[in-house]
Amino acid sequence: MLSILLGTITMAAALRLAVPLILSSIGGCFGDRTGIFNIALESFMLCAAFFATLGTYYSGDPYTGVFCGILAGLACSVLFGILVFHLGSSGMVVSIAMNLGMDAFTSFLLLNIFGKRGSFMDSRLVSLPSVKLPVISRIPYIGEVLGTHNVVVYFTLLAIAGTWIAMYKTPFGLRLRSVGINEKAAQTTGTNVLRYKWYSVLITGFFVGIAGAVLPLGGTSIFTENMSAGRGFLAVAAIMIAKGNPVLAAVYSFMFAYAQALAASMQNFGIPSQIVLALPYFMTIAVLLVSGIRGRVKKGAVETA
């Protein structure tokens, strides 16, 4: 049993599954810290997945597909920003509309461009190649978990540290966080609140765009309807629990992905598939519950003091 819980196959699979969750959550942390209510990450990811598929199909190059996914994520961010920042729409309403609409929109494009329903697979859909790290790959256990992945996996690991440094160790991050804490106070220091909100939503679109591109190009070489399959909502949950901290959001995202990887391994034990498929969401509820209880305990301790 221990070989399944901590085995190299399970951990390596968890890392691969965690990549889109981590990228989405660390990107979404910027919006969270500027006080933007954005639960439309699911739609950003699904749109990026489709256009990454489209870009790879016509170019034959997965890196071009990733670039197209980034552009799609940025386009979704621009749409969100225009509706919320300039037209005064509710972030919640826009998020719900985008999440519901993007599923239908990508299905419509899939049918009209490729003439397919459900899923699309073609020899021109080439996944990102794996890169073998020369030193790390020779380290026992660690090498089997981290040694051979595509470049987006390694970019994700670097991005965790990079986004934390940008948010907490730079003037940019200080101003961005000040906007979320108190907009009026931030304005008195000369910070352009609208500009920093745009920065945050575009950063979100950039990272979620890469996350969406990984879904069809991370090894499966296939696009399916509703391919994001709730990953955007899991990323939102990680952001909420982590309170906008990219490192903590990445940790919680990995926990959710680990539950998915473990669920896949547990199917060999005859456990009902419904329970196995629900395991990642049980994990999410459990983490939210524990986080909520800890928050109430700390609040009670402060009030008592």
In angstroms, the CA 178 to CA 155 distance is 28
What the block records as the tokens of 250 is 């990445």
Residue 90 has pLDDT above 60, yes or no: yes
Q: What is the pLDDT of residue 41?
A: 94
Task: List the helix and strand counts (H, then E) for the chain.
Answer: 13, 4
In angstroms, the CA 8 to CA 143 distance is 9
Q: What is the mean pLDDT of residues 280-300?
A: 75
Q: What is the pLDDT of residue 302?
A: 59
Nearest to 4 by CA among 259, 199, 193: 259
Quick one: pLDDT band at residue 139, thresholds 50, 70, 90? confident
Q: What is the pTM of this model?
A: 0.90
149 vs 165, higher pLDDT: 165
In angstroms, the CA 216 to CA 223 distance is 5
Quote the mean pLDDT of the chain.
87
Q: What is the pLDDT of residue 56?
A: 93
Quick one: pLDDT band at residue 132, thresholds 50, 70, 90? confident
What the block records as the tokens of 34 is 């500027």
What the block records as the tokens of 218 is 């991370």
Q: Residues 212, 73: contact at Cβ < 8 Å? A: yes
Per the structure, how many domains does the chain have? 1
In angstroms, the CA 104 to CA 132 distance is 39
Q: What is the pLDDT of residue 143?
A: 81
* Residues whose CB is less than 8 angstroms from the CB of residue 110 and which lie 6 or more positions away in sequence, other chains included: 50, 116, 117, 120, 223, 225
Q: Tell me the CATH number at 10.
A: 1.10.3470
What the block records as the tokens of 270 is 């005859």
Write the pLDDT tens digit of every residue in 26-61: 999 999 999 998 999 999 999 999 999 999 999 989
In angstroms, the CA 62 to CA 65 distance is 5
270 vs 192, higher pLDDT: 192
Q: What is the mean pLDDT of residues 200-219?
A: 94
Q: What is the pLDDT of residue 219?
A: 82
Quick one: pLDDT band at residue 4, thresholds 50, 70, 90? low
What the block records as the tokens of 295 is 């928050």
Q: Of the given ranges (37-51, 93-107, 160-174, 284-298), which has the lowest mean pLDDT?
A: 284-298
Q: What is the pLDDT of residue 151?
A: 92
Domain hosting 224: range is: 2-304
Write the pLDDT tens digit of every residue in 174-199: 999 999 999 988 888 888 999 999 99
Q: Residues 47, 73: contact at Cβ < 8 Å? A: yes
6 vs 134, higher pLDDT: 134
Is the four-CA dihedral 33, 34, 39, 41 of positive or negative sign? negative
